[in-house]
Amino acid sequence: MLKPIGPVPLRTGWGLERLHGGLVLRACLLLTAFSVCAHVYLERVRGGRASPAPLAAVAARSGRPTLASHPGDDKPEAGTTRPGWALRRRVSHVRDGATKKKEPSLSREIEGGGEGRLRPHKKALRWHIELEPWASEHHSLEDEARRFLHYITTPQVSCGSLANGKTDEGEGSLGAWAVCLDQSYSLWHKVHSKHCRIYSLGLGMEDRTLEGFLAQAGCEVHCFDPSLKQPHRQQQARLWLHRLSVDWRDPNPAARAQHHQHASTKKLATILNDFGHREVDVLKADMESAEWKILENLVLEGVLDSVGQLLLEVHLHWAGFEVGGHDPSVVRYWFSLLQELQRANFRLFRCHSDPAKPHVFLHKNVLNASSTYTLGFVNTKWKP
């Protein structure tokens, strides 16, 4: 008896149809994956070829460097700093923690001979100064004061020519402020080539004999005084006055936006960038007890490398703005800042004290020290 064979072709045809359908589905999936990969690859190739052109165009219009040419320039500028940083008040040597810094804005050329190139100011990655060891195991005020006073009253290099514009250049007639015009250092050569730049930092009206002398000698002189009525004013040829005060922190961006006005206080690194200046041959600073925190900021941000000579008036009758602690630690902090100057190749060439000033040292009479000294340092790396 014959067996029925009808169902067999039906099962065989259905299996072939399912086999062909699976192959077609797999082929479609592979084709889709290949298309997606090819599309991604082509987009990356086109993007890599096209992206430098817009960046270069933007850089050409704005003067800013591209990320490709300066990989380290992707840090935020001053305007993007977190609000509130600039308003935090810190005591330097009591807490050895980090002193937070903000990135200065890119420089821009303004009046007074900017270099004409926009670039961020060089900064060192430091958060606090290095405190020197105690002067003695007793941690006494007298030991700390003796070491500090010996340092600031003992010149380390000799200067063959001191000048501030007065006819008689004798030591007694120069007064507090004088620059070193020794031919061993670069200022003498820059004055003669009339390519020198001077920054004078002060509060209120003060004696500008030195500034006038250097301006007449051909230097570009910028005086910063927050009490001026006009933002910028040219007093005489090559001497400009600016309504600005140098601080150890930049103002809070939110506060500036709220008051719709330019800040009257800025860090020196920010001012250098805003003016488009890379170097200052002479930095004169009479900041009425703010000098310690400002000097600390110059050390932390590496600005001292851009300074040829530093003329600094220090006030010793009290600790100074935002400097606290017991008296021996305050003097240790002062001495540590001066050692930072030493490590930055600055050497003391002159110390002047006014005999009419009271002899007060941290509200006491310690070693018959004066309350005010004017110090002159020269950067020995700045050779002609």
Q: Return the pLDDT at 19.
A: 60
Phi-psi region of 135 (alpha: psi -120 to 50; beta: other; left: phi over 0): alpha
Residue 236's nearest CA partner among 214, 219, 215 is: 215
Q: Return the pLDDT at 262.
A: 53
Q: Is 37 helix (H, G, I), strand (E, B) or coil?
A: helix
Note whether 198 and 220 are within 8 A (CB): yes
CA torsion sign, 154 to 155 to 161 to 163?
negative
Q: Return the pLDDT at 98.
A: 38
Number of Cβ within 10 Å of residue 116's Cβ equals: 10
Q: Return the pLDDT at 249.
A: 82
Q: Where are the alpha helices (DSSP H) in 153-283?
A: 186-193, 209-216, 253-259, 268-275
Q: Return the pLDDT at 96.
A: 41
Residues near 68 by beta carbon (within 8 Å), at least 6 away in sequence? 52, 55
Q: Return the pLDDT at 205.
A: 60
Q: Return the pLDDT at 221.
A: 97
Angle at alpha carbon of residue 361, lines to 93 and 373, rounded to 5°: 90
- Give the total residue count for the chain: 384
List the pLDDT tens digit at each of the 384 positions of the chain. Answer: 445 555 544 444 555 566 666 777 788 788 888 887 777 777 665 654 443 333 333 333 344 333 333 333 344 444 444 444 343 445 554 444 334 444 333 333 334 444 444 444 455 467 888 899 999 999 999 999 999 999 999 999 999 999 998 765 555 568 899 999 999 999 999 999 999 999 999 876 667 899 999 999 999 999 998 887 778 888 788 999 999 888 888 776 655 555 445 558 899 999 999 999 999 999 999 988 999 999 999 999 999 999 999 999 999 999 999 999 999 999 999 999 999 999 999 999 999 999 999 999 999 999 999 999 999 999 999 988
Q: Return the pLDDT at 60.
A: 39
How far apart (Å, rounded) are the C-alpha atoms in residues 162 and 177? 10
Q: Report the helix count and the strand count for the chain, using DSSP H and E.
A: 9, 12
Compute CA distances 288 → 245, 343, 370, whole Å. 12, 25, 15
The number of CA neighbours under 13 Å toward the Cβ of 90 is 21
How far apart (Å, rounded) are the C-alpha atoms in residues 73 and 218? 35
CA torsion sign, 52 to 55 to 60 to 64?
negative
